[in-house]
Amino acid sequence: MSFDSNGNWVADPTNVMAGFKVPTASSYTLGTDTSDMATAYPTGSATTGDASWNFLSNKDQQGYGSLGLGAASGLFNAWLGMQQYGVAKDSLAASKNQFALNYEAQRTTTNADLQDRQAARVASNPTAYQSVGDYMAQNSVKAAT
């Protein structure tokens, strides 16, 4: 491949990038802060096509490359957020299920202990204590709603 005196590709029908201007050291200018060399950017206008890489960035307008990258990033972040939302919903459902199972097991154990204790009281002195059924109706741990 070869370039003309202006730094353009030599027109070649087999070259799909014919006419694309290659950036040179003279096509960059520094920003107002000369201590920061990272402020260099291509010169020229996007409408005249004389700037190198003006489709990616330009000092006068945001380039299409960064605009497209920002849109793709936004879409990816939205998709990732939906995935995280689904995982959070599954985690909450599992936590609720574990709580329900644990509550039911504790309720059953506590009610069995209360029933056994009242049955022992009634066995020791049947007239001094209320019946096991009445005691459990009044004092048992109720099921979760």
pLDDT of residue 76: 97
CB 123 within 8 A of CB 106: no
pLDDT in tens, 4-62: 777 666 655 555 555 555 555 555 555 555 555 545 555 555 455 554 555 555 555 56
Q: How far apart are CA 108 and CA 13, in angstroms?
A: 85
pLDDT of residue 44: 52
Residue 66 has pLDDT above 90, yes or no: no
pLDDT in tens, 72-109: 999 999 999 999 999 999 999 999 999 999 999 999 99
**Domains of the chain: which residue ranges?**
1-61, 81-145
Q: How far apart are CA 36 and CA 30, in angstroms?
A: 8
Question: How would DSSP label each residue in 95-120?
Answer: HHHHHHHHHHHHHHHHHHHHHHHHHH
The amino acid occupying position 119 is A
pLDDT of residue 144: 83
Q: Which is more confidently placed, 67 or 128?
A: 128
pLDDT of residue 67: 84
**Closest alpha carbon to 107 in 129, 139, 133, 134:** 139
pLDDT of residue 5: 73
Neighbours of 118 (CB within 10 A): 19
pLDDT of residue 31: 55
CB 122 within 8 A of CB 132: yes
Residue 121 has pLDDT above 80, yes or no: yes
Q: Which is more confidently placed, 122 or 67?
A: 122
Q: How far apart are CA 41 and CA 85, in angstroms?
A: 41
Q: How far apart are CA 37 and CA 42, in angstroms?
A: 13
pLDDT of residue 130: 94
